[in-house]
Structures are given as structure tokens and as C-alpha cells.
Amino acid sequence: HKSDLNHLNRFQEVALYSCFASENMSCWGLRSADGTPDRPHSDPKYSWETLQRQKRNWVWNQFFVLEEYTGTDPLYVGKLHSDVDKGDGNVRYVLTGSGASSIFTIDEKTGDIHATKRLDREEQGYYTLHAQAVDSKTNAPVEDESEFIVKVQDINDNEPKFLDGPYTAGVPEMSPLGTMVVQVTATDADDPTYGNSARVVYSIIHGQPYFSVEPKTGIIRTALPNMDRETRNQYVLIIQAKDMVGQMGGLSGTTSVTVTLTDVNDNPPRFSRKSYQYSVLESVPVPSVVAKLKAADADIDSNAEMDYHIIDGDARGVFNITTDEDTQEGVIFLQRPLDYETKSSFSLKIEATNRNIDPQFLTFGPFSDTAAVKVIVEDVNEPPVFYPLIRKLMVSEAARVGTVIGMVSASDPDSSSSAIRYSIDRNTDLERFFNVDALTGVISTAKALDRELNSVHNLTILATENQDPSQVGRGIVLIRVMDINDNAPVFAIEYETLLCENAAPGQVIQTISAVDKDEPPSGHRFYFSLAFSASNNNNFTLRDNKDNTASVLTKHADFRRQEQSLYLLPVLIVDSGSPALSSTNTLSVRVCDCDVDGIPQACGTVAFSLPQGLSTGALLAILGCIITLLVLMLLIMAMLRRRKAPLFLEDERDVRENIVRYDDEGGGEEDTEAFDMVALRNLNIIRDSKVQDISPETASVYPYSASAISRTSYKTLPDNIVFQEFIWDRLKVTEVDPSAPPYDSLQTYAFEGNGSVADSLSTLELPSSDSEQSYDYLSNWGPRFKKLADLYGDLEGSSISPSLSYHGELGPINI
């Protein structure tokens, strides 16, 4: 701004003059460019001579310097001059203060002040400096120090700024024209007191024709009425602030304003269809959800909240509807169980209504809508149902086994009406006191009942459909056992009766009562008396108190413990049942030594006292003898127990007990040391007689008959035949003898030999077995099993049972 700079320089060249009267009548100040001091006034009263004669006062005005100077030479600020300065160089000017030397420099001889740096008013608006004239030789002040201010003159170098931008604001939809939205404010860093550099006006660049802005205040208002959020819910405005009152050459700044239309309840709810249809199984439990439906509402948040109601239909009390607060859906749920056979469909009329209605938008209504809903009930196979569900029955505890108590009834609610079988859930009748007829449902007793053990039986009766046994209904039967008089009364507690030796005649020494497990309807009534055996008792008497208690009294005094310390008094108790039952209970009375207050001190038998002639030493000797005898007896018993009994008697030895046990597998035919075969080859001649005992029927199954065996020596037969016949002999003897001991001849062969590829055999059958197992697979086991394969293969189709004399790789074979 060249014009502003020239104006400021001319202003600075005007002499701001000030006189100071000193002893030598000198004066100094700021001179103009021609060197003549500026006199503020031309009035004679303020003439030069007058000033010379008056006391001088310093009056310094401000220096002005333009900011943002862009020239290459230092900017001239002003000039200091003193009248003492005659131009001969004897006066030197000194400048100190804020910015001296760094920003402002002074010519020591001429007093010219220059700015050497570019100044910014927005960083620092003024500088305070101190000026002084001193003698250039002695540095002695020739003028007093004076202070002056250099003010930075503003230019329009800052654009307006929106410090709070960008802005967001909201305004309700359907607002009238001119509704205030928000106010924006722009700040200009230029000097507001100088010119128009900081005077800002506002305008809208983007956002018309929907909104407008007031130029001076920055208030944004709606420019169109009834803007609809559901059509468009957000607008972005661009607002401009321009200084210099908006004139050409002014600087400007912009900001964005995001305006959101907030929702109002101006849209009623509407169902997408006028009718809906849903299906539900009749077996769903209460309160299951049957269906969900929703009325659409273009509004949001609380303006879209709605309530649903059933306003009509034929399902009164069966269904109800509520609002899901999260989704605003109408949830139809079940209130009562459904029954397809009773009613297979329901019709409902549902109404949806806005919860928060704004009165100013009632003309947009009505804010509700209705829809028809049909619910179809689908049939399912239901379990039988008992009528009634809980049945109460009574039976006397004297009822005999098989007595009919009552009957339960259940039916299939389905249209198929399947036949039903009844049963008792035995978890509710663990001791099986009752039975139920599977076809009729008649309940009867299966055991004798005892009311005192269990007075009420809670049974669960099961009703099962014949067509679908998975459908099981359950009913409850409460059977109350009625009491009969089958328990005699007894003492209520175990009484401990104490009798003082000094008891007076007629004194009550015990009050007794009775209990009875029975519960007669009219309550208990007990009768007490002494048993017949004690009717002539001379020591005690019994008094029935007529209140189910009785008192025991003494007949005389002077009871003596030494004579008799215990009395047993039989008491007869009879109840009032029909027929009446009775029991005899024994009351024990102990005689005690009592003090003067009647408190027992010692009861029972008087302690026995040792004879006076037996000393303590004699007692110890007797005790020592007894202990010695006991020790001797214990030693004898221990020695007898240490004698070992023979493992077996010679005459009871039997080859069947010769069982050899091994912890490893046998070696089969290759193992010649595992078992002594001589014991099987050298058989006693007794075997012939035992073989002859085999019946003809069993003997026919052998390849060698019993008679042939008896006539043939075992030594002339091959080894395999010998072993076979011996084993079958022992087996048959054991089978026909019911008193035979529970052990058999046993030999285990668990290993065929090195390199065997055969697996283990599970079992071999006995002659009496009915097994139809095939042994063809034995032929695939290799050469070591050839003999076994031939044997079992030949016998498979015949009545001859397999021989067990094979010694191959078999599991344990128990015969």
C-alpha cells in the first residue's frame, strides 16, 4: 500500500518538537527533514524567547512506522536533535530500550532513526525507546534521558479466521422459515481501530436456497419452510467472512457448517401388508413366541416407538402381544395351551400406535395402523392325558393283597385315539406296594400296607400309546392309608425311677405316660393298671390320672438298699381302640440313699466289702497266679498254631489236582520240559472201570467205543488217542457226577512255537454244546494247524465232537 507508506513518511517528517530549558538555554527534539525545529504553536506566548525563559517540559508524541515494509533500504523512522548540537560533532546520540540496536538503529552524529527489520503489528504493536544526547568526548549527558514510543502502523495483511470452525448444528425438520440454526464468528487479527481492515461481513457460498446468513452477525437461518428429514437429513454449508466491509481488495476466510435435520414425529406407522398368516404347533409351551410383525415408521428414535394391541379376534386370552423395545416389533406370544382338536385356527386384529405423538403434526395422522393376523394350529402327536391329572384315593392299612383301591383314566387327545396301556413308574413305588391293570387302569394292592411306615403313597401312573410307545402321559395318584388299631401303647420314654430309702407311704415316685403309633380319629385314651402278676404287690400302687398319665406311689416306708436295691413293676397299658390293644411295660425302681432334701446320693446295690482277715499281699499273690496261668495258656495255643498241616493227604492225591502254572507262554510241541507226559501215558488200570461207567448214549460219540477202550491197553494206542480218551473220560465223569468237586483237568498251551502265524482261538465246544461254529478257517493257518483243521473239518458235519488233545497255539481252555 504505497499511498499509506508515503502518507506515513510525510507524517514522520513533521517536526515533533519539544523544548527543554537548561542553564545554557539549549533545546532538543525531533526535527523535520529541513532541519528546523518544529514549534507546536505560533502564539507569541509560546515564542522561542518565551520558552528560553521558562522551565522546559518534555512532550514526546508517538513515532509511527508501517508494518510489513518490503523495501530493500532501512525504513526511516525519525530524527533526534538537540540545540546543544552545533554540528561540530561534539554531541553523540544514544538510543536504548525495546528493540534498540536489533530493530532500530540511530546515527550517533545526525540522530536519524531507522528500522532495519520487517515489523509485524500482530506480533508487537509498539516499542518503548529511550533517547539521550551525550558529549562525544566525555560521554557526559548533555540532555536528560527521555522516553518515546514507536507504534507499528497496521495494514490489511490478515484474513478473517473462524477459530471455532468447522461447525455442526441441528435444526428440527419441518421448521418454519427463518428458524435460527447456528451463529458463526470470524476473527481478524488486524487493528480494529484503524480503517476497515478488521471489519468483517458474512455471506453464504454453498447451501442456498435452503439456508441464509446474516451479513453482520453471522447467524444462519432456514431459508425454506418444511424441510423433510426423511427426504434429506443433512446439508453442508460454506460460509465466507470478508474484511474491508466486503469491498474489493478485502481478505476473506471460509468455514463449513454441517446442518443435520433432527427428527420429529411427522410420519405415522404403517404395516407393509394388511393381512398376515402364521403357523404354530399345538405342542408349544406357554409362553412361547408365536409370531413377530412390524409396522414401518420413517421416523427414528423415540418418534418411531410404538405400542401393539390386539383389538379384535376370536382368541381372547389365548394370545397376547408386546413390543420388542430393541426392534420395535410386535411379538405375539402364547398365553394358554393350544389344542388342535379343539380349535385349529385363530383370527386376530393387531393395531400399531405411535407412543409419542406431537400435537402440532396431528394433521399428518392418524398415527396408527391395523392389520389382520391368522394363526394356524398344526396337529402333533400328543401323549395321553389323564382326567383328572391328580387323583386321590384311600385304602385301609388292613386291606389284603389284591384289594382294588380305585381306577385312573387317560385318553389320547389326537384324532387317531390310540389304545392306551397303564403302568406305574416304579421310581415312585420302589417297594412295589401297588399294581395297576395295564388295560383298565384299576389300581390294587400288591403288598400289605402299614400306615405307621408310610401314610401317603405318591404314585406316578404312566399311560403309553400302543401305536406310538414314545408318547407317554403321566398322572399323579395320591393314596392315603387309613389307620386301624394295630399298635399297642407303650411307655412314652424309658423311665428311670429313683426311690429314697426314707420315702413316706403314699409318696408319688414317678408319673408315667404312653404313646401309640396309631392315630384314632377321636384321639388317644389310655388306661393304666398294674399287671396281674403285680396285683398283690405290697410295695407300690398305681393310680390312673384319667388324663393319659398314671402315678406310681409307695405303700410303705423303710425301704432298704441292703435288702433289695431294685424293684421291677409291670404296668399294663390299654388303648381305646376297637378292638382294644394292650401291652405290659416294666418300670424299674431303684432304691437310693438320699440326703435330707430327698436328693439321691447313692443308688443300686451296696458295694461288697472284703473280709477283714484277707490282706493286700494275699490279693496280689492271687492276682499273680492268675496272670501266670493266662500266659502259659497263650504260649501253648501259639505253639499249637505253628504246627503245619500237610499240604494234602496221601490217600486223597488225585491227578486232577496236578495243575502246573506258568507265567510265560507254553512252547507247544517244541517244549518237552513244560509238562511230564509220562503221567498221562502210564495210567492205572482203574481207568478201565471208570470208562465202563460211561453210558451207551455218550459212548457212541467217540471214535473208539467204551468197550474197545476197556479191552485195549492205553500203551498200544497212539499218543493223541491216549490223551483224547483220557480227557474225555475225565470230562464225562465230571458231567454225570453232580457231587464232583468244582475243578477240572486243565492244561494251557499258549504258544505253537517259533514262527507261528496263527492267532488265538477263543473257545472249543463241549459235547453238550449246541454251537454251529465253522472251523474252516483253521485250514488257512499254516502247516502247524493242519492236524487241528483236519480234525475239526471232519467232525463239523458229524455228531462226533472235536478232540481236545491238540497242543497248538490256543488260549486257555477250561474243561
- Give the pLDDT of residue 550: 94
- Give the pLDDT of residue 113: 86
Q: Rounded distance, CA 12 to CA 30, Å? A: 10
Measuring CA to CA, how many Å separate 560 from each of 23, 542, 603?
Answer: 156, 21, 11
Mean pLDDT, residues 246-265: 89
Does residue 373 contact residue 291 with C-beta atoms inside 8 Å?
A: yes
Ranked by mean pLDDT, the top range of 99-113, 550-564, 672-686, 687-701 is: 550-564
- Give the pLDDT of residue 769: 44
Residue 528 exposure: Cα atoms within 13 Å on the Cβ side: 26
Identify the residue with better confidence: 234 or 28: 234
Q: Which amino acid is at 474?
A: R
In the numeric block, which cell numbers belong to residue 59? 512532550
Q: Rounded distance, CA 315 to CA 346, Å? A: 6
Mean pLDDT, residues 684-689: 44
Question: pLDDT band for position 295 (50/70/90)?
Answer: very high
Q: Is the pLDDT of residue 338 over 80?
A: yes
Around Cβ 495, how many Cβ atoms within 10 Å?
17
pLDDT digits (tens, 9 = 90+) for 485-500: 888 999 999 998 999 9
- The chain-wide mean pLDDT, for the chain, equals 77
Q: Is the pLDDT of residue 632 over 60?
A: yes
Q: Is the pLDDT of residue 654 over 60?
A: no
| Three-class DSSP category at 533 | helix
pLDDT digits (tens, 9 = 90+) for 128-138: 888 888 888 88
Q: Is the pLDDT of residue 784 over 80?
A: no
Mean pLDDT, residues 263-285: 92
- Give the pLDDT of residue 142: 86
Nearest alpha carbon to residue 701 among 806, 787, 805, 803? 803
Identify the residue with better confidence: 145 or 697: 145
Q: Is the pLDDT of residue 52 over 50?
A: no
pLDDT digits (tens, 9 = 90+) for 148-176: 888 887 777 788 999 998 999 999 999 99
- Give the pLDDT of residue 198: 80
Does residue 106 contact residue 94 with C-beta atoms inside 8 Å?
A: yes
Q: Is the pLDDT of residue 39 over 70?
A: no
Question: pLDDT band for position 222 (50/70/90)?
Answer: very high
Mean pLDDT, residues 636-652: 65
Which of these ranges, 93-97, 172-176, 203-207, 661-665, has the smallest mean pLDDT? 661-665
- What share of the chain in percent tops pLDDT 70? 74
HEC-encoded secondary structure of 674-743: CCCCHHHHCCCCHHHHHHHCCCHHHHCCCCCCHHHHHHCCHHHCCHHHHHHHHHHHHHHHHHHCCCCCCC
Question: pLDDT band for position 316 (50/70/90)?
Answer: confident
Identify the residue with better confidence: 687 or 362: 362
- Give the pLDDT of residue 679: 52
Mean pLDDT, residues 276-301: 92
Q: Is the pLDDT of residue 238 over 80?
A: yes
Q: Is the pLDDT of residue 49 over 50?
A: no
- Give the pLDDT of residue 668: 54
Mean pLDDT, residues 670-696: 48
- What share of the chain in percent tops pLDDT 90? 35
- Give the pLDDT of residue 283: 87
- Give the pLDDT of residue 278: 95
pTM of the model: 0.44
198-203 contacts, C-beta under 8 A, 24 or more apart: 198/243, 199/243, 199/244, 199/245, 200/160, 200/241, 200/242, 200/243, 201/241, 201/242, 201/245, 201/246, 202/239, 202/240, 202/241, 203/239, 203/240, 203/242, 203/246
Only one residue has cell 499258549, namely: 750
Measuring CA to CA, how many Å separate 412 from each of 437, 472, 476?
Answer: 18, 10, 17
Question: pLDDT band for position 613 (50/70/90)?
Answer: low
- Give the pLDDT of residue 671: 53
Mean pLDDT, residues 800-814: 41
Q: Is the pLDDT of residue 258 over 50?
A: yes
Which of these ranges, 27-41, 223-237, 508-522, 667-681, has the smallest mean pLDDT? 27-41
Question: pLDDT band for position 71 (50/70/90)?
Answer: confident
- Rg of the chain's alpha carbons, rounded to an integer? 66
Only one residue has cell 520487517, namely: 118
Q: Is the pLDDT of residue 361 over 90?
A: no
- Give the pLDDT of residue 42: 37
- Give the pLDDT of residue 180: 94
In the numeric block, which cell numbers belong to residue 662? 506258568
| Three-class DSSP category at 4 | helix
